[in-house]
């Protein structure tokens, strides 16, 4: 297992060093951006199986100088058992369109359905998620929804007497359309500090890389998140 993690780290480092794109002339082009994602969330656990969540998120782009989007999301999660779960969420998005003749904030709605599986091996927690999502711009009848499937793999390691356990995940995206292919991949490394009374605080670094196009873009993302969990009194013990 340790060897597997070592090889994964080497592959990740190699991936970071690969040039973004190369034109036919042999000239390399680099297309990069730095973003910051910050979120505040609330989770309500009805019981051990069912929970609801609400989240507000702000994303900045152009080297953290302009608003990209901000959104409100409402979701639910149901655990069939300790390993298998199902999730459903709806997101109202305000998208800052600053390209073209018509600019300004656009209203979008996105919903997604998740199927997750997780298991433990020694001090490792492994998780797998399949997500189907559909996004539509509101107020435009001829707008064709964008449908995407996402495959995510994650692993956490539990250090004894240490509250900043590392979390690593990778996720790949594919838009559902004729002759489509995987067009984007994400790598995330982060940690979450959990408290009993004031909620959970998290931080992460994420690299997002486009896999198609003449000059694929690489986006470096730093993130901060906070979530508070409420429980029904009968489940607090």
What would the mean pLDDT of 30-42 be, rounded to a whole number? 93
pLDDT at 234: 67
CA neighbor of 230 nearest in space, from 196, 192, 194, 193: 196
Rounded to whole angstroms, the Cα distance separating 92 from 110 reads 7
Q: Which residues, other chains included, contact 116 with Cβ-Cβ below 8 Å and sequence gap of 6+? A: 84, 85, 86, 87, 127, 128, 129, 130
137-180, pLDDT tens digit by residue?
A: 998 877 789 999 999 999 999 998 888 999 999 999 999 988 88
Rounded to whole angstroms, the Cα distance separating 215 from 19 reads 10
79-105, pLDDT tens digit by residue?
A: 999 999 999 999 999 999 988 777 899
Rounded to whole angstroms, the Cα distance separating 27 from 21 reads 8
Rounded to whole angstroms, the Cα distance separating 139 from 131 reads 26
Phi/psi at 4 (5° precision) = -60, -45
223 close to 36: Cβ distance less than 8 angstroms: yes
**Structure-model confidence comparison of residues 160 and 9, the more confident one:** 160
What would the mean pLDDT of 39-57 be, rounded to a whole number? 97
Specify the length of the chain in residues. Answer: 237
CA neighbor of 203 nearest in space, from 213, 215, 193: 193
Tokens standing for 79?
């655990």
CA-CA-CA-CA torsion sign (198, 83, 117, 110): negative
CA-CA-CA-CA torsion sign (121, 5, 185, 206): positive
CA neighbor of 136 nearest in space, from 72, 91, 96, 176: 91
CA-CA-CA-CA torsion sign (156, 73, 171, 10): negative
Q: In 46-123, which ranges are E strands?
A: 50-61, 66-79, 84-97, 104-121
Q: How many CB atoms lie within 10 A of CB 5?
A: 13
Q: Is the pLDDT of residue 120 over 60?
A: yes
């Amino acid at each position: 297992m340790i060897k597997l993690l070592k090889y994964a780290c080497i592959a990740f480092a190699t991936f970071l060093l690969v040039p973004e794109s190369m034109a036919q002339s042999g000239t390399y082009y680099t297309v990069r951006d730095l973003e910051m994602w910050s979120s505040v969330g609330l989770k309500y656990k009805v019981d051990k199986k069912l929970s609801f969540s609400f989240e507000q998120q702000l994303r900045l782009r152009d080297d953290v100088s302009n608003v990209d989007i901000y959104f409100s999301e409402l979701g639910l999660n149901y655990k069939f058992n300790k390993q298998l779960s199902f999730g459903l969420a709806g997101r109202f998005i305000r998208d800052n369109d600053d390209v073209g003749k018509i600019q300004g904030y656009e209203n979008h709605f996105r919903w997604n359905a998740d199927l997750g599986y997780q298991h433990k091996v020694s001090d490792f927690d492994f998780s797998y998620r399949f997500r189907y999502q559909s996004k539509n711009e509101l107020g435009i009848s001829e707008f064709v929804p964008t449908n995407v499937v996402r495959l995510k793999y994650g692993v956490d390691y539990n250090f004894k007497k240490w509250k900043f356990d590392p979390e690593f995940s990778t996720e790949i995206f594919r838009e559902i359309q004729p002759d489509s292919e995987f067009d984007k991949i994400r790598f995330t490394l982060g940690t979450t500090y959990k408290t009993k009374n004031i909620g959970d605080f998290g931080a992460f670094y994420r690299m997002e890389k486009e896999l198609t196009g003449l000059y694929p873009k690489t986006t470096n993302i730093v993130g901060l998140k906070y979530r508070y969990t409420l429980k029904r009194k009968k489940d607090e013990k």
